[in-house]
Each structure stands twice: as structure tokens, then as C-alpha cells.
Amino acid sequence: MKMYILVKDTIPEGVAILAAAHASLAAYLKFEDTPEIKAWLSGPFYKVICKVNEKEFENAKQFEDSILLTESSLDNQEVALAFKPREAWPKPFKFYRLYK
């Protein structure tokens, strides 16, 4: 089981790190009563953080079970998407760049 967190590549690095941390917690809180979260927490609970461009970010919004995060210090700009953990992921997730 993996939780994917997508962060826009235009976000300053310091804000991106914060957004990823907030996204992980926000996804956990939104989906905490689901069987997927319970299975994910039974370990190991992987998180994959990817850097995506604007088009990838917009396209990823179509996939189910996500939470959108905004950043108040950036005029409430959309900065990250976090997805409920799952075993199988749609094809585009295989091609997102890992955040390094």
C-alpha cells in the first residue's frame, strides 16, 4: 500500500516540504475510517512524493479519493494533492517524477 502526494513543481522548496507534510496528515484524517488506511497502517505505510507540472496536477484531480491542499502564504494557491493509499495506481502515477 502506498499513499501518493503530488506537489506542484512551481512551489518553492520550503513550502513544498510543508505541503507534503500537511498533505500526508490531511489524507490520513480524511480517510482514517476506511479499510485502506487500516491496511496501510498495518505496515509498512509507504508515501511517495512526486513533483508534477501544472498539466499533470490538473489531470490528477480526476482520480478518486484525494484531498486538495492550498497554501495561505501563496494567496491560497493549490499546492498539493494527496491520495488515499491503495495497492494499484492509475498508469500516470508510474511516470510522475519523484521529489528529490
Query: Above pLDDT 90, what percent of the chain?
Result: 96
- What is the C-alpha end-to-end distance of the chain, expressed in Å? 21
Rounded CA separation 89/38 (Å): 18
Q: What is the DSSP letter of 38?
A: H
Strand partners, 7: 51, 80
Give mean pLDDT, residues 70-96.
96
For domain 2-98, give its CATH number from 3.40.1160.10, 3.10.330.20, 3.30.420.40, 3.40.1490.10.
3.40.1490.10
Say what the pLDDT of residue 11 is: 96
Q: Is the pLDDT of residue 24 over 90?
A: yes
pLDDT tens digits for range 57-68: 999 999 999 999
Residue 86 pLDDT: 95
Mean pLDDT of 68-73: 96
Share in percent of the chain as helix, strand, coil (round to 5): 40, 30, 30
Chain center to CA of 90: 14
Tell me the sheet residues that pair with 5: 49, 82
